[in-house]
């Protein structure tokens, strides 16, 4: 008995130390970014930095508004394409597809998440860019091309988690709905989907995080021009691409401005997560209060 208690004590403390260690690492990373980025705000001005339209390190200009808008546009456009496709696929795999089809589709979709981002970027550079250039004009390096790549990249995340959420809905919900005379589609639409909605929102949040934080594939197909796009076929430069492209040679205030860009990226992601978590909490309350 004493041996079992000692083992449980050691396991509990080991897990606690691991959790604390993870938090400490995150705090150290955030602190490092803040220490390196705050001088840019102090010397250039926070609002001037945040709302400036020009980014020209050689001229001492460090405005990131165009890149903020580019990051938001490419994320929203990719989610606009990915979310409907992902949800339809997840519903098919969870509620409609036979077991033999599900056993084939699930590992294939999960394999997509293991493909390196450089491979996606190379595919976009060789295949998608020429297609967009041929059929839509321009150079082919554009917001639309980057969104297509990100759409494919976030599909596995949203599909996998959404499917697990749908499958986690208790079987009693289905049986009760069928017992009341509902069809399979009516059961999916009015019972299973609302019950799984908090998990589905979580899947969309994670997919959004993947889209916002993706760097290499976007660099290869977005065009990397600092501007507010007038159409979806104009080139853009997201915040992540700006950091990756210029960090290798940045010095002085330019170096601090890139860390300032990372701080802005943190703020955007934090704001999006707060909004998404509020929506998730709201639907949990609605479901718990009799939404079904």
Query: Residue 28 falls within a domain, yes or no?
Result: no
> Which of 254, 286, 292, 291 lies closest to 40 in space, CA to CA?
254
Q: What is the pTM of this model?
A: 0.85
Q: Look at residue 283 in the predicted model and tell me its pLDDT.
A: 65
- Domain of 245, CATH number, reads 1.10.3720.10
Query: Residue 36 falls within a domain, yes or no?
Result: no
User: What pLDDT digit, counting tens, does each position of 191-233 carry?
Assistant: 899 888 888 888 888 888 888 888 888 999 998 888 889 899 9
Q: What is the 8-class DSSP label of residue 235?
A: -
Q: Inform me whether the pLDDT recorded for 288 exceeds 60.
A: no
Contact 164, 128 (CB under 8 A): no
Q: Look at residue 236 in the predicted model and tell me its pLDDT.
A: 92
Instruction: Print the domain residue range for 167.
Output: 49-291
Query: Residue 39 falls within a domain, yes or no?
Result: no
CA distance 240 to 62: 15
Q: Inform me whether the pLDDT recorded for 54 exceeds 80.
A: yes
Query: Residue 172 falls within a domain, yes or no?
Result: yes
Mean of all residue pLDDT scores within the chain: 86
Two tokens at 203? 């899947």
Total domains, the chain: 1
pLDDT confidence bin for 1, thresholds 50/70/90: low
Query: Residue 38 falls within a domain, yes or no?
Result: no
Query: Residue 236 falls within a domain, yes or no?
Result: yes
Two tokens at 75? 């994320």
Query: Residue 16 falls within a domain, yes or no?
Result: no
Query: Residue 44 falls within a domain, yes or no?
Result: no
């Amino acid at each position: 008995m004493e041996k079992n208690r000692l083992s449980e004590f050691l396991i509990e403390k080991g897990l606690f130390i691991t959790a604390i260690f993870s938090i400490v690492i995150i705090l150290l990373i955030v602190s490092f970014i803040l220490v390196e980025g705050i001088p840019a705000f102090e010397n250039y001005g926070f609002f001037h930095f945040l709302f400036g339209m020009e980014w020209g390190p050689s001229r001492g200009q460090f405005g990131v508004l165009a890149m903020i808008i580019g990051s938001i546009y490419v994320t929203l456009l990719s989610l606009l394409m990915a979310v409907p496709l992902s949800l339809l696929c997840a519903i098919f795999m969870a509620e409609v597809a036979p077991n033999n089809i599900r056993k084939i589709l699930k590992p294939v979709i999960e394999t997509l998440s293991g493909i390196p981002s450089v491979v996606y970027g190379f595919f976009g550079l060789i295949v998608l860019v020429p297609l967009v250039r041929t059929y839509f004009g321009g150079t082919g390096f554009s917001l639309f091309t980057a969104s297509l790549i990100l759409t494919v990249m976030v599909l596995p995340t949203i599909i996998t988690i959404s499917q697990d959420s749908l499958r986690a809905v208790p079987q009693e919900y289905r049986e009760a709905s069928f017992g009341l005379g509902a069809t399979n589609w009516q059961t999916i639409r009015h019972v299973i989907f609302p019950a799984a909605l908090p998990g589905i929102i979580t899947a969309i949040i994670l997919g959004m995080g993947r889209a916002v934080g993706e760097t290499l594939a976007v660099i290869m197909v977005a065009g990397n021009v600092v501007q507010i796009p007038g159409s979806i076929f104009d080139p853009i430069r997201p915040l992540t691409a700006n950091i990756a492209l210029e960090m290798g040679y940045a010095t002085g205030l330019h170096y601090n401005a890139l860390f300032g860009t990372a701080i802005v990226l943190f703020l955007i992601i934090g704001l999006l997560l707060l909004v998404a978590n509020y929506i998730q909490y709201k639907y949990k309350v609605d479901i718990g209060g009799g939404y079904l």
